[in-house]
């Protein structure tokens, strides 16, 4: 395993800057996920590290070696592609051992390594089959086994689960994470799925428009987003937002959006003006506010989705027609479409953003632990 380093890496396609001054260090044995919307530059960044895309400016290092100008085959990196890139005319065993064959290793050593990797991935009984005879999940395991036998400096994954159904994605997430921890191999994992990033990575790099927006541990980013983009990107369902204004008066500071208002701590450091309030769905409660500083939300229930362990409720806040919020409630509360109810959010669970989308620190204390995990949905 080896440390991976991006130094001021930029990629231009003619006049378009796809990746702009990308700086990142991935420590030995660390699992880092690059995540962001389509077109944010995450796959391009991965491909530049792999040697599949030339770098316009900057440098990449694998361990102590500057590999910027090295061919892909000389970088000692193993990559799992979205399509798995298996040779259709070769058996699973031949696909797994292909790179070893190119190195002219002995047949006995290749066979031993292939068998060991296949057993680790649970596909030893499928080695005689060709890709067309394998399911999507089995092809994915063959692709990972092909990486393992090479004993690379690092694993690179490019959307490896996107072709699997929801149930298989959940299983594959666990398998890949366990494998990475068992092998201790440095891993860079690209995905558009924030659930994958949250559940698999030691650290997440959130990208947007070719630039890094924030880097940190999953729950660090979830609880302390640097801006509105990060806050609304992480979380399933996504954070609710109310557009309004921060007002300062004789009685202190408060956020106002039509008939909805909530007092803010006097320590809030932001000028009066346009602002956005953020509410996590799991922090919305089906009851009146408990204390001063909590947010009251009298609302009309417009839709209810009962999922067993949890219920998703779409709310229309009274006095704010057209604005719908999502509440994530434990169990199966007795709510139905058309109900007028009182909802609330603890003051400690509120997020505030200025007119530029930057986070304004207002949280009085950590929010109470939710009865549900922050991310349980498989998207």
CA distances from 231 to 23, 35, 224, 236, 275 (A): 22, 13, 8, 11, 14
Q: Where does CATH 2.40.50.140 sit in the chain?
A: 237-360
Joined tokens for residue 149: 């036998």
Closest CA to 187 of 315, 307, 34: 34
Query: Which pLDDT does position 353 carry in this prediction?
Result: 95
Reduced to 3 states (helix: H, G, I; strand: E, B; else coil), residue 333 is coil
Q: Count of alpha carbons within 13 Å of 36, Cβ hemisphere only?
A: 21
Per-10-residue mean pLDDT, the chain, length 379? 94 95 96 95 96 96 96 92 88 92 89 91 93 90 90 92 84 90 94 92 96 96 96 93 89 87 83 92 88 88 94 94 93 92 92 94 56 38
Model-level pTM? Answer: 0.88
Tokens of 106: 């002995």
**Each residue of 175-217: pLDDT tens digit?**
899 989 999 999 999 999 988 999 999 999 999 999 999 999 9
Residue 379 is predicted with a pLDDT of 31
CATH architecture of the domain with residue range 4-223: 3-Layer(aba) Sandwich (3.40)
Instruction: Give ranges for CATH 3.40.50.300 in the chain.
Output: 4-223
pLDDT averaged over every residue in the chain? 90
CA atoms within 13 A on the CB side of 273: 9
Plot region of 210 (φ>0 → left; ψ -120 to 50 → alpha; else → beta):
left
Contact 96, 45 (CB under 8 A): no
pLDDT for the residue 363: 61
pLDDT tens per residue across span 268-299: 877 889 999 999 999 999 988 777 788 999 99
Domain 237-360 is of which CATH architecture?
A: Beta Barrel (2.40)
Other Cβ atoms less than 10 A from the Cβ of 107: the count is: 10
Give the model's pLDDT for residue 27. Answer: 96
In degrees to the nearest 10, what's the CA dihedral of 198, 201, 202, 207?
-80
Which H or E run includes 172?
helix 166-183
């Amino acid at each position: 395993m080896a440390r991976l380093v991006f130094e001021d890496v930029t990629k231009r396609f003619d006049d378009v800057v796809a990746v702009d001054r990308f700086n990142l260090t991935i420590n030995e044995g660390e699992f880092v996920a690059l995540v962001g919307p389509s077109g944010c530059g995450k796959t391009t960044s991965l491909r530049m590290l792999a040697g599949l895309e030339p770098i316009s400016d900057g440098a990449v290092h694998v361990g102590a070696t500057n590999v910027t100008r090295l061919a892909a085959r000389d970088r000692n990196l193993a990559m799992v592609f979205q399509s798995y890139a298996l040779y259709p005319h070769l058996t699973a065993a031949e696909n797994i051992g292909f790179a070893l064959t190119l190195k002219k290793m002995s047949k006995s050593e290749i066979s031993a390594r292939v068998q060991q990797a296949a057993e680790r991935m649970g596909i030893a009984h499928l080695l005689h089959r060709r890709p067309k005879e394998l399911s999507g999940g089995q092809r994915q395991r063959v692709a990972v086994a092909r990486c393992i036998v090479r004993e690379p400096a690092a694993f690179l994954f490019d959307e490896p689960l996107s072709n699997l159904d929801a149930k298989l994605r959940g299983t594959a997430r666990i398998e890949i994470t366990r494998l990475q921890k068992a092998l201790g191999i440095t891993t860079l994992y690209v995905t558009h799925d924030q659930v994958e990033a949250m559940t698999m990575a030691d650290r997440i790099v959130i990208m947007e428009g070719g630039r890094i927006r924030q880097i940190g541990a999953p729950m660090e980013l979830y609880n302390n987003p640097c801006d509105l983009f990060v806050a609304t990107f992480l979380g399933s369902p996504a954070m609710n937002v109310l557009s309004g204004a921060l007002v300062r008066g004789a009685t202190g500071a408060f956020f106002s959006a039509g008939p909805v208002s909530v007092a803010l701590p006097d320590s809030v450091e932001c000028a009066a003006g346009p602002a956005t309030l953020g509410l996590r769905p799991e922090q919305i409660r089906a009851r009146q506010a408990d204390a001063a500083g909590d947010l009251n939300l009298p609302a009309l229930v417009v839709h209810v989705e009962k999922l067993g362990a949890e219920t998703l409720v779409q709310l229309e806040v009274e006095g704010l027609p057209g604005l719908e919020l999502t509440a994530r409630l434990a169990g199966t509360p007795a709510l139905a479409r058309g109900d007028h109810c009182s909802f609330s959010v603890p003051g400690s669970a509120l997020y505030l953003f200025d007119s530029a989308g930057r986070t304004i620190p207002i949280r009085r204390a950590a929010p109470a632990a939710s009865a549900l995990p922050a991310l349980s949905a498989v998207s």
